[in-house]
Structure 1
Amino acid sequence: MKKFLLIALIVTIISCNKKEEKKHPHDHPHAMESEEFYKDPKNPLNKLTYASKIDFSCKMDISKYGVSDTVTYKGKLYGFCSSVCKEDFMRKPDEYLSKNQK
């Protein structure tokens, strides 16, 4: 019985020490497949000037993680980490903008 408990303890310790997978800063249902592209300094979208450094949909810092999609709304350019976030923003842009101007 002691051997079984020792083995269970060792397995538990080993499984707890596994390196955590790299996760996206938010939980939208899109994958990180394009992450390497939009973090790339050669990505032309990262060279543009945006009205905000934050993706309003998921609150991700686009100045840190990069941009994969954009939209111009009321004369201002906004960057997003994904088309999912852009589409979410476009459903209710005034609501997102009013929340983030406080």
Structure 2
Amino acid sequence: MKKILVVFSLAVLLSCNKEEKKRHPHDHPHSMESENMYKDPNNPLNKLTYASKLDFTCNMDVSKYGVSDTVTYKGKLYGFCSTVCKDGFMKKPDEYLAKNQK
């Protein structure tokens, strides 16, 4: 009985220590940790200055992972990880901006 309890305890401890991959919150084909998502120095969009370093739709740090789409809204340039996120932002931009003001 002690062996079963020890094995069960170890299994619980090991399963709790599993590092879960941080998946992108939308149905994008990439995860936030995938190598191809890191900021590509050859992408001209990554060289621009944005009003925020976050993609307001999914809260991905575009300064770290890079930008694949942009929009200018009320005179400010915003970067997004994908067209899906940009389109989501454009459906209710004032709501996203109000929620993300500090």
Distance 2:71 2:48 in 1: 12
Q: Secondary structure in 2 aligned to 1:39?
A: coil
Distance 2:44 2:37 in 1: 10
Distance 2:92 2:79 in 1: 16
Off by >4 Å, runs of 4+ in structure 1: 20-23
What is the TM-score of this pair, normalised by structure 1?
0.72
> Which residue in the other structure is 2:87 paired with?
87
Q: Secondary structure in 1 aligned to 2:70?
A: strand
Runs (5+) with no aligned partner, structure 2: 1-17
Aligned residues: 100
Q: Give the aligned CA root-mean-square deviation in angstroms.
A: 2.7
- Superposition pairs of residues 38-57 of structure 1, within 5 angstroms: 39-57=39-57
> Which residue in the other structure is 1:27 paired with?
25
Asked if the contact 1:38/1:46 (under 8 Å) is kept, the reply is no
Asked if the contact 2:38/2:64 (under 8 Å) is kept, the reply is no
Overall identity of the aligned pairs, in %: 77
What is the CA distance between 1:101 and its match in structure 2? 1.0
